[in-house]
Amino acid sequence: MKGRVRIRGIYATALTSIFSSLSYEIVQQSIEIAERFMQEINNSPADITIKDFEDDRGKITVMGNGIIEEDLHSIFKYSFHWRSPIKLYSIIETEESCTYLNFKVEPCLKEGIVTKPPYDGKIILSETKAVSKYAMVWRGKGITTFSEHIRDEEERLRLLSLSSPLNRKGYNVKWRSNAKYATLNELKEDLERLVMKYENREFKDQGEDFHLITLSLPDKLQLDEVRKSVVDTVKYHHMLKLSYNREIDSLEKNKEGSPGKLLEALISDFMKIEHIKADGKVIYLRGGKVIEKEVNDNGYRIVLRREFTSNGILDGIGKRIEDGDYDIVEYNSNKWYQIHKYYSGIDNSLKGVYINISTPPELLRGKIRYLDLEIDIAIKDSETLVLDEDELTKKSIYMPSSLVNRTKEVANYLLNQIRQNGLI
């Protein structure tokens, strides 16, 4: 076995199937997952935890220690992968400028434990602690606290019987969720190691790997197919769960077929645009009014009219934006690009064409989301320009090779179409 994996959240069924097939041991399953896979619940401690990202269920976090990165790249072939350069629960010493590896550190402690890796550019610290997969130990007021996942009163009393003697000596103990799956002897030995580790300041090897994966629509559709092999699943299940959790469950339970009505409900009169960069930055582009829409068994298609006021320069086109200028752009669930056609508000003449290469767009409540793949193509005054190829090289550290290759294939396809047909 490659390791023990605990899986939680809306992707649990598909990921349980996938990781089982890759020789991981699935542990701490929910009753529902155990029943779906006709498994006995395995109450072993986990080495790795996979769950929905708390701020956005369109992302997942992978935490723990194990050789898993290569498998993550093979499972999520067309998604963005961010691996923290600083391990979760590692101990760091901040620089005088309250930074570490060029990341801002809050609060500005001289030394502390990393409680939030810098996926948004900021490291969050707390006071130094010795950490294992079962517990945390540090000097303090002599209290015991518990993970929110340890709710059973008898279990709390069992753990408290071990931590109370340390509390009386002035140590704080926080029991992590894995603790309820270990024996008293294992936990006792673990606490002893943690105290020694804390007092001797042996923190060199402490910490857990942290991965944040921003899922693309193609990868969610693949998860749909995997889930479908286990339980009734409609197309766009994992996308629709972000906006219609109960409704999609009811649709599948009652075997009502197509999710078309839910897809149509996501298309509002005015759609915002969420443009996600490979390094995790999100750019909210000017939204637009829906002037065409189509939903069928093959997917969905939305055409927006985005209107501008006089301010700035048109991306890639290099022409000044004038009052009344507008953009007509199509978002198609089957296309890895959007073609922006910029028109003059004065005489409706075409000012230029800008093609953004991205993963196919997702629909969420009132907005369109996609992963930007850096390379763009601009057409102005009969000249075709390929933009930001160097940015793809820089950002490829966040992309599996399959996604980088797909980006180049799409760019070459578009350039061939432009050469053969002039405009797309």
Give the β-pairing of 122-126 and 103-106.
parallel
Edge-first strand order for the sheet with 25-26 is 25-26, 4-7, 48-53, 56-64, 209-214, 80-83
State the DSSP code for 88: B
275 contacts 341 by C-beta, under 8 angstroms: no
> Residue 25: left if φ>0, alpha if ψ -120 to 50, beta else—which one?
beta
For the residues of 249-285, what is the DSSP string, one character each?
A: HHHHHTT----HHHHHHH--SEEEEEEE-TTS-EEEE
pLDDT digits (tens), the chain, 424 positions: 789 999 999 999 999 999 999 999 999 999 999 999 999 999 999 999 999 998 899 999 999 988 899 999 999 999 999 999 999 999 999 998 999 999 999 999 999 999 999 999 999 999 999 999 999 999 999 999 999 999 999 999 999 999 999 999 999 999 999 999 999 999 999 999 999 999 999 999 999 999 999 999 999 999 999 999 999 999 999 999 999 999 999 999 888 778 999 999 999 999 999 999 999 999 999 999 999 999 998 999 999 999 998 788 998 899 999 999 999 999 999 999 999 999 999 999 999 999 999 999 999 999 999 999 999 999 988 889 999 999 999 999 999 999 999 999 999 999 999 988 876 6
Tokens at 418, concatenated:
């432009």
Q: Which of 325, 350, 349, 424 is nearest to 341 (CA)?
A: 350
Cis peptide before 107 (omega within 30 of 0): yes
375 contacts 387 by C-beta, under 8 angstroms: yes
Give the β-pairing of 144-146 and 209-214.
unpaired
Beta bridge partners of 328: 305, 341
